[in-house]
Structure 1
Amino acid sequence: MEALREAVAKLTVYVHPSNAADVHRAVARQLSALLFSYEDRFDGVLLAHEARIESGGPREEVRVKAKILNGLVPYFGVQVHANLLLFSPQPDMILEGKVEVLGNESIHAIVLGVFSVAIMSDDIDEKFKFKRRGDGGKFVSRSDKQHVIRRGTMIRFSVKRVDTEMNCHITGSLIPPHTGSMLWLSVHDAEYASEINSSKRRSRDISIKIEQNEQEHRVLKNEDSTMTSERPHKSRKRSIEER
């Protein structure tokens, strides 16, 4: 998928002194707090991360840079090298999503199980005709009745606009070539069919990374809900700085 990209970043993560006994876990917690939300500094949504703390000796010896944040207790800065997996959709990119709801005027889908997509009637190719039959209706191609888009269909679409204020809400289009039902395209579109085999392995590896980070995110969130934090209120955007 075009919108997925990997990046390497040097970050300074600020850790509360109460977490000094397990800095590695504290850093992971700070990074996990950024998962699945749009971050300007990364120009995308963080989906997964692998962080390595800079150290001057054994693994347990972590090099830190003392820094006092105004009005707060003296957090200490930990220098981190992070490999990031980002979702950064841009206009004219080709993405894939699963149809959740559709009607005569629009198709609504979801990408990577997280990001919402709206394809309005003006952006649905005229070759598709909406038929209100079965479970919620379906779009059927006038040129090939086997080309059907219904609830649950995986579709390939072009990006028109991205609203980062709504956490990468996407406006899409089914008018450009090589868009439509992925199942139909895999059989009838030679260009798309040739892409499938080359992208299968990478897609599987990415799915595993995202799932692992989702599990970590849920575990840390559950732990936070059961703990009474002694930490003063502080914006999470100041907890991590990119160098």
Structure 2
Amino acid sequence: MEGLKVSKANLTAYIHPSKTNQVSQPILRQLSSLLFKFSEIFHGVVLAYDLNSLHTCAKILPGVHPYFAVKLKVNLLLFSPKPNMLLEGKVVKVTQESIHVVVLGFSSAIITEKDIREEFVCKTKRGQEVYASRSHKQHVIKVGTMIRFLVKR
């Protein structure tokens, strides 16, 4: 799927002196805090990380609380959709005005009525809203359907 990319990052983790006997624990906690949040720095949502190396020489930062700065090399899996990318998602809601889709199980997208192809018309079948194709009677978009769509913005 488009929109997924691996990025190599050089990061710095700041560790409190009380955690010096278990350095990996606060580092993993800081890396985990990046997961499933949009990051302006990485221009995307961090889905996974792989810690490649940890610089063994920590630097003590002066100040009120003398934290240790530890250099990290990390591979990050990012979800960063751009305009005109083709994405795939599962339909979770259909209304006359829009189709609501979940991409990769966590990211929500909305396809508005003006962006739905003209061949589809909204109908009510068995009490549910669906978009049915005028040219292919079996082509129906309903809750649970997997669809591909183009990112506009």
2:109 matched to 1:109?
A: no
Match of 1:126 in 2: 118
Amino acid corresponding to residue 132 of structure 1 in structure 2: T
**SS of residue matched to 1:122:** helix
| CA drift at 1:135 | 5.3
Q: Which residue of 1 aligns with 2:48?
A: 48
Residue identity in the other structure for 1:29: R
- Which moved further from structure 2: 103-112 or 126-135? 126-135
For the pair 1:26 / 2:18, whether they are aligned, the reply is no
Q: In the alignment, is residue 13 of structure 1 matched against residue 7 of structure 2?
A: no
Q: TM-score, normalised by structure 1?
A: 0.60
> Please, which of 123, 129, 136 is the counterpart of residue 137 of structure 1?
129
Corresponding residue for 2:36? 36
- Displacement of 1:134: 2.4
Q: Whole-Å Cα distance in 2 between the matches of residues 119 and 8 of structure 1? A: 33
Whose helix proportion is higher, 1 or 2? 1
In structure 2, relative to structure 1, the CA distance for the partners of 1:151 and 1:135 (3 Å cut) is: farther
- 1:126 aligns to what SS in structure 2? coil
Find the counterpart in structure 2 of residue 236 from structure 1: none
**In structure 2, C-alpha distance between the alignment counterparts of 1:134 and 1:73, rounded to whole Å:** 64
> How many angstroms apart in 1 are the aligned matches of 2:132 and 2:47?
34
Q: Which moved more, 1:44-53 or 1:127-136?
A: 127-136
Q: Aligned equivalents of 1:20 and 1:79: distance in 2?
A: 15
What SS class does the counterpart of residue 42 from structure 1 fall into? coil
Letter of the 2:68 counterpart: F
SS at match of 1:29: helix
Structure 2 residue 57 is matched with structure 1 residue 63: yes
SS in 2 for 1:41: coil
CA distance in 2, matches of 1:20, 1:145: 65
Q: Aligned AA for 2:128?
A: G
Q: Distance in 1 between matches of 2:126 and 2:5?
A: 39
Q: Give 3-state SS (helix, strand or coil) of 2:151's partner.
A: strand
Q: Percent identity?
A: 48
Write the letter of the residue equivalent to 2:102. Answer: I
Q: Indicate the SS of the match to 2:23.
A: helix
Structure 2 counterpart of 1:123, which letter? Answer: D
1:20 and 1:135 map into 2 onto residues whose CA distance is: 61
Give the root-mean-square deviation of aligned CA atoms.
Answer: 1.3
Residues 53 and 78 of structure 1 are in contact (CA less than 8 Å); yes or no, is this contact kept in structure 2? no
Structure 1 alignment gaps of length 5 or more: 56-61, 162-243
Aligned residues: 153
AA at the equivalent of 1:4? L
Q: Which residue of 1 aligns with 2:91?
A: 99
SS of structure 1 residue aligned to 2:41: helix
How do residues 161-240 of structure 1 correspond to structure 2 at under 5 angstroms? 161=153
* Gap runs ≥5 in structure 2: none
Point out the structure with the larger strand share: 2
Q: Is the contact between residue 19 and residue 26 of structure 1 (CA under 8 Å) also seen in structure 2?
A: yes
* Corresponding letter in the other structure for 1:118: I
